[in-house]
Amino acid sequence: MPGATATKTRIYLSPPHIGSEERRHVDAAFATNWISPAGPHLAALESEMCAASGVESAICLTSGTAALHLAVRLLRVRPGDEVFCSTFTFVASANPIVYQGASPVFIDAEPRSWNMDPELLTEALAERARRGRLPRAIIVADIYGQCAEWDEIQAAADAYGVPLIEDAAEAVGATYRGRWAGRFGCVGVYSFNGNKIMTTGGGGMLVSPDATVIERAHQLATQARDPAPHYEHSELGYNYRMSNVLAGIGRGQLQSLPARIVRRREIFECYRQALGDLPGVRFMPELADSRCTRWLTCLTIDPEIAGVSRGAVLAALAADDIEARPLWKPLHQQPLYQAAPVFGGALADRLFAQGLCLPSGSGMATEDLSRVVAAVRSVFPGA
Ligand SMILES: *Cc1c(COP(=O)(O)O)cnc(C)c1O
């Protein structure tokens, strides 16, 4: 009917994209009564992930946050320690430092991948070395589906003998110089939260090149029970093991991950082609020798050039029932971490002030993409 407005459905930022294999594995878990945090899907998902990623050893956990907590615990982070951490990331990257009673020190990003700046990291390590107070560990996040400059970061950390934790929660399936995200630290972390590129509804994984580290993680994740016929405990553990039902979902998701990455990269290219001509608009860069999954399509809007603010674009999207978000608020700006030291910070501040993520779910229809593009363009004068 001309003039009638069709009912529009809400477009979400990054909803789960579930296929049919997931359901088959979940049904199998029910049929065999393996519904607790034990059962064949757990070992299967762990070995299938090792095969896909090239990691040596992996354990399924209840969340990426739990995996990060085990990571800092395994590296013996203790009260009084400092731990370096990316500032341009989600708060879950840093919280486990505080769970261990230690203090975060934040490091700014570089403009090439938006991840931790290796030069600033070197400066920060040199400064702490002069004061005789090196950090116990360094947590580097791979943001928005892209790996950090790992060769440079590894060299900086090696020069001072400080171990690296790779928070690859957002970068499952990304590669850097041919190697998967998650393979660059002593331990790596994946998240399978509902909005991530691969989901188990909620869940995560700790991976390591050292199988004994993962055995130790298994012990801690299952309440640190000592070998005995009764319940005997000599150290503090956690209840962090994933359910076998959710591991079944993960197995289905892992199979379709390559296709999901291809689709998210296509979505990014569509947006870039449709919006790249707008003044002051710049898309997230991609490192040479690196393949970003484009988990979320991210861009920045320089208001001086655009004549339009990021806020105005967000408002136009919200008015059309489209979910979009500013980029991460840097952790050094969070009220929770106001007192923490920070090296640099200006780039993360600018990304937060000007940046935005657009709906990027791999299940998005072409009409949805057009609707997002039209809403963004409507804000630009003469566009
Ligand atoms: C999602 C996320 C986490 C936490 O993962 P959960 O599975 O949600 O606990 C950690 N770090 C980063 C960078 C994330 O985006």
Q: What's the distance, CA 326 to chain centroid?
A: 16
CB 300 within 8 A of CB 351: yes
Q: Which residues contact 341 (CB under 8 A, 6 or more apart)?
A: 105, 106
31-89 residue pLDDT tens: 999 999 999 999 999 999 999 999 999 999 999 999 999 999 999 999 999 999 999 99
Neighbours of 32 (CB within 10 A): 12
Distance 132 CA to ligand 1 centre (A): 32
Atom of ligand 1 lying closest to residue 196 CA: 1
Percent of the chain with pLDDT over 70: 98
CB 337 within 8 A of CB 95: no
- What is d(CA 82, CA 227) in angstroms, rounded to the nearest whole number? 34
Pocket of ligand 1 from Cβ distances under 6 Å: 63-65, 89-90, 92-93, 141, 167, 169-170, 191, 193, 204
- Give backbone dihedrals phi and psi of 44, rounded to 5 degrees, phi first: -65, -45
Distance 26 CA to ligand 1 centre (A): 24
Reported confidence tier of residue 3, pLDDT bands at 50, 70, 90:
very low
Distance 192 CA to ligand 1 centre (A): 8
CATH H superfamily, domain 257-377? Aspartate Aminotransferase, domain 1 (3.90.1150.10)
Neighbours of 28 (CB within 10 A): 17
Distance 93 CA to ligand 1 centre (A): 7
Q: What's the distance, CA 260 to chain centroid?
A: 16
Burial code (b: 16+ CB inside 10 Å, e: under 16) for 333-359 equals: beeebeebbbbbbebbbbbbbbbbbbb
Distance 77 CA to ligand 1 centre (A): 20
CATH for 20-255 is 3.40.640.10
295-314 residue pLDDT tens: 999 999 999 999 999 999 99
For a mutational test of ligand 1's pocket, the pick from 69, 193, 195, 197, i.e. the residue with the most ligand atoms closer than 8 A to its C-beta, is 193
Atom of ligand 1 lying closest to residue 170 CA: 15
Nearest to 145 by CA among 24, 268, 251, 233: 268
150-182 residue pLDDT tens: 999 999 999 999 999 999 999 999 999 999 999
Nearest to 139 by CA among 190, 201, 71, 202: 71
- What is d(CA 219, CA 217) in angstroms, rounded to the nearest whole number? 5
Nearest to 313 by CA among 381, 382, 380, 268: 380
Nearest to 68 by CA among 196, 209, 167: 167
The residues spanned by each domain of the chain are 20-255, 257-377
Q: Looking at the predicted structure, is the pLDDT value of residue 242 above 60?
A: yes
Tokens 């840093």 correspond to 94
Nearest to 164 by CA among 189, 191, 184, 193: 184
Distance 191 CA to ligand 1 centre (A): 6
Asked whether this chain's domains 20-255 and 257-377 adopt the same fold, the reply is no
For a mutational test of ligand 1's pocket, the pick from 14, 65, 249, 360, i.e. the residue with the most ligand atoms closer than 8 A to its C-beta, is 65
Q: What is the mean pLDDT of residues 222-248?
A: 97
pTM over the 0.95 mark = yes
80-111 residue pLDDT tens: 999 999 999 999 999 999 999 999 999 999 99
Q: What single-letter amino acid sits at 38?
A: A
The end-to-end CA distance of the chain, in Å, is 28
3-state SS class at 208: strand
